[in-house]
Structure 1
């Protein structure tokens, strides 16, 4: 259970953001720089969500040994800026199956305010965990190297793992719901319009809405896709509009326009 009322925050103000990255993972700004940029942009609620520790090699994820320092910095910033902005401690936890994810005791015992969970890695046929979340050119190279250009197999693995992540639980917000669509479309334009793809996406959406967790509209990745947003709203999902900021300049990236977009779309459904 989160220590904050996410629904109340989303319902009461657009001046929130629950997803951001800093020096503790692959972010390009310090936590202090992000907080100051958020204050200047008028935010009242700000959540830090470094990529969680993982039991595999990854240059994008924080290490376990840096977690205490991260929590200490949260407390320092709260003491300094707490009268101006509410600062929350979170992580974007990678789901790697039953043995690693938001559901394990390690994350339960960190006393985080809430948890985002996302799929960034899927397993190749040789057992290697491969990051399929990077830039399209990197994704296409990994698709060739690890998956023999089997784009359908990669997409199926992504959605299967995402569904299992939701069913396993232990988190509060699902991050960039169908992010695979960006890279899959770079390799195979139009893939998101194919019936088999839409069936996988709809199954994930239905699983998410039945679970009652919050859904992120990630304005950095422009996800979920339009069709997924329509299905989410039809099923009364609560959507958190997050910038996924990695720099101070992008704390409010595309958020205002996407909040308007979602509200307008909701009025037509």
Structure 2
């Protein structure tokens, strides 16, 4: 049954409202960043003169080139390894008859309830004993472990819905378990893997707590963690702080806009199969 015009108007109205609620904070940041440095802008008031150089000043003052390099290194350390491990584990739990898979499934579910804040103190002492404090490894290794419960559950939810006929046909043709995984299931799992990669990228880039607790040097943190040091230095300069925040947000927005189709495709695929 086709929706009525009233339902269409209501749906569009809700979407417009949600869009405005989402966009207004970014507009506020952008307008504030264009005010003269050292001023205190009032709400959404436009400046008399637009100071585009605030973005250049924020980039240079915060040494964001080193921060960007550190964030990229952390992303390269977390995302590929987490994807590989979670894809293998999800395939084993969702499609293979491995021993104790139900018990492992419950363990991963319990891992989803584990908050970062609850383990930050023991994690600090553990990383200190390993001699990894104030290095990128202090962020990379904990994040891989902390992302595992969700990542494994995400990939398991995909593999558990894969048709068994494909597996049986491949085994009849003489395919080994590795060939079955790599040549049959991985090509069909690209939307799920791509969407998980996007989520891991966003969560790693925006990681703040581990970065400020385990790493003292702002140039070795994530971009979001480095914002804490930038705020401490320029906390009274609101336009410069807003400009720095937008510079940190820009890579995340670009990645999401570029890969949004893969992300939506994976969600729709899961909805159809579920």
- Fold shared by both chains (TM-score > 0.5): no
Q: Which has the higher contact order (CA 8 A, sep 6+)?
A: 2
Structure richer in strand, relative to its length: 1
Q: TM-score, normalised by structure 1?
A: 0.21
When you count helix as a share of all residues, which structure comes out higher? 2
- How does the TM-score come out when normalised to structure 2? 0.21
Larger Rg: 2
